[in-house]
Structures are given as C-alpha cells and as structure tokens.
C-alpha cells in the first residue's frame, strides 16, 4: 500500500519544482525529502525522479503518480473536514498567514482569542505577501491566508477558494512635516508628481499597484527608495527623503517629523481571508476566520463556529 506521507512528498515536489522547495513547503530537510522519494520509488518499483542539471525532474511515472497523489490528498483533506465537522470540535492545528501589516494589525487579537476560546487548537502564523499566501493555500501549506487588493487593482483569486471580507483600509499620504501640503485636510495623488516616492519592493503586489495608480494620474513616479516594512518607509519620510502611501491597518506609532493627510479619492485596500473550499466544514478553519473577523471589527453575518 502506498504511504500517504511519501505521496505528500511527491505532491510537494511536483508543486514546488525542486527538492529544496518541497523541503521548505513541508518544513523538513532536503535529506528527508530525498529519503522519502527513495522509499516511494522502491514501493512502486519505478524511477520517479531524474537528474536535470543540478536539480531533478519528475519522470513520466513520477508525473502520473503525482497527479494521483494530488487527488488522493484532496480526498484526505475532504475526509478530514467531514470528520472534524461531524465531531464538531475545534482541535488539531490551523496554519494562518497574512501580509505584514495585517499580521501586525490582526494576528495578536485573533490568535489570542483562539488560544483562549479553543485551548486544544494549535495555531501557527506566518507573514506572506498576498500572492504567495494564495499559492500557499492552494498548495495546502496554509489553511487560511489574509490577502488584499485595491479598489482600482484587484487580486485574482483562483477557483476552488472561498473568501470572506474582513475590512476596508483607507490610506493616507505620509510626508515630512515641512512639506508644502502637510497642513491640508485632503490631498490628491497627482499633487505629488514632483516628489520622490518611497515604495514597497519591486515585484510585490502593492508596488505594482502604486506604479499603476500614479501613472493613471498622468505622471511617471520617481521611486527613490524601496522598503518592505512600513516602519522603515515612515523613518525615511521623517528624514525628509520622499513621500509614501501609508495604509492604516497595523501602522502603529508614527515617528516625529511625519505628517499624514487623507487621500481625497476613495481609494481602499480590501482585506479578506481565503481558504480552500473543500475545507469549508472544518471547525478549526471556521473558528480562525471568525476570530479574524472579530479582530478586524467586520460587520455583517460572521461565519458561525461549530
């Protein structure tokens, strides 16, 4: 009989495309991945991996078995959901991820509430950018991801995932206190066409949003500094090195020397939770999403906990 954990290793290899990627996704060593694959090859009596330069690739037999493994693991996930739902207890482990400001703004309250309300539930949390969070949910590396998009630039959510709105986050423009517009009650982004900008790193969803939005206002942004952490961005602003868009969720204390002015246009970050639809009935996921909604102060009907 095929070993489920070895099939899980093969599935991770197929999804990640490398031994190191599979090891990271499974939170094991590369040696453990190689050992599991060697045992699986002995079980099936066929070669599943072949050398490909410095890495490996799946053979035809490997791809065939990986397709079966994905379906088997999906059925196991569904069975686990049904068993948990039938038992109706919030137990086991739930893995949640979020982009940094959501992790800072939501996780302390949500995870504390889960620990208090469900002491038999283990919660693991991590920071991931939105697109990586969605991929991690699809792969099964995360149970729930908190992701975002903007009112003028949506983040595609693949089929097979369920999502629920958590909150809308309004941004301000952060600028040095001696900036000519620092005393205004509202500003338009195009008023900063001559300023240097501080942005998220290239390749991140919010960087692409910023460039797209500023170009739509009729100017090419002069992005001088890149920083992933909002605290770093605001420190650069305090030093007089530019301006930035500063969402409010998880922002924390603002350093001296920084002025925040709301944007006149109705720009919003839409923040929501996503999870695999085939895990809808798992009480642990429903409890985690309900805790995130409470932490976000979401209105409207919440997911009921089993």
At 152 the pLDDT is 86
Answer for the pair 155, 235: CB distance below 8 angstroms, yes or no: no
pLDDT at 209: 93
- The pLDDT value recorded for residue 111 is 96
Are residues 262 and 169 in contact, defined by beta-carbon separation less than 8 angstroms? no
Q: How far is CA 266 from CA 45, 151, 218, 219, in A?
A: 61, 8, 18, 19
Q: Which domains does the chain have, with CATH numbers?
A: 4-85 (1.10.10.10), 90-168+269-296 (3.40.190.10), 171-262 (3.40.190.10)
Per-residue pLDDT, 145: 97
Block means of pLDDT (10 residues each) for the chain, 306 residues, are 85 85 81 89 89 84 88 75 65 92 95 94 93 87 93 84 93 96 94 96 92 94 94 96 94 93 88 90 91 79 38
How far is C-alpha 124 from the geometric centre of its chain's CA atoms?
14
Q: What is the pLDDT of residue 84?
A: 63
pTM above 0.75, yes or no: no
Residue 105: the pLDDT is 94
In this prediction, residue 52 carries a pLDDT of 81
DSSP 8-state code for residue 192: G
Per-residue pLDDT, 159 = 83
């Amino acid at each position: 009989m095929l070993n489920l954990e070895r099939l899980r290793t093969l599935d991770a290899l197929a999804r990640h495309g490398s031994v190191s990627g599979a090891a990271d996704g499974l939170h094991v060593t590369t040696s453990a991945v190689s050992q599991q694959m060697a045992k699986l090859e002995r079980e099936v009596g066929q070669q599943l991996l072949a050398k490909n330069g410095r890495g490996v690739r799946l053979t035809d037999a490997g791809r065939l078995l990986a397709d079966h493994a994905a379906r088997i693991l999906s059925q196991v996930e569904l069975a686990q959901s049904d068993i948990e739902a039938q038992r109706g207890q919030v137990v086991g482990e739930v893995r949640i991820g979020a982009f940094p400001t959501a992790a800072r703004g939501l996780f302390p309250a949500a995870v504390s509430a889960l620990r208090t309300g469900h002491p038999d539930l283990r919660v693991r949390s991590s920071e991931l950018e939105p697109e990586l969070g969605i991929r991690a949910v699809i792969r099964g590396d995360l149970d729930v991801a908190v992701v975002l998009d903007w009112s003028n630039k949506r983040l595609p959510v693949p089929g097979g995932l369920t999502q629920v709105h958590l909150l809308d986050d309004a941004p301000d423009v952060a600028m040095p206190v001696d900036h000519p517009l620092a005393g205004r009650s509202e500003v338009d982004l195009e008023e900063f066409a001559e300023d240097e900008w501080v942005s998220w790193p290239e390749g991140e969803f919010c960087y692409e949003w910023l460039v797209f939005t500023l170009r739509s206002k009729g100017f090419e942004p002069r992005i001088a500094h890149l920083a992933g952490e909002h605290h770093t961005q605001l420190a650069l602003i305090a030093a007089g090195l530019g301006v930035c868009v500063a969402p409010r969720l998880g922002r924390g204390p603002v350093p001296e020397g920084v002025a925040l002015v709301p944007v006149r246009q109705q720009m919003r970050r839409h923040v929501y939770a996503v999870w695999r639809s085939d895990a809808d009935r798992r009480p642990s996921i429903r409890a985690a999403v309900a805790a995130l909604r409470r932490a976000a102060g979401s209105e409207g009907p919440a997911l009921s906990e089993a």
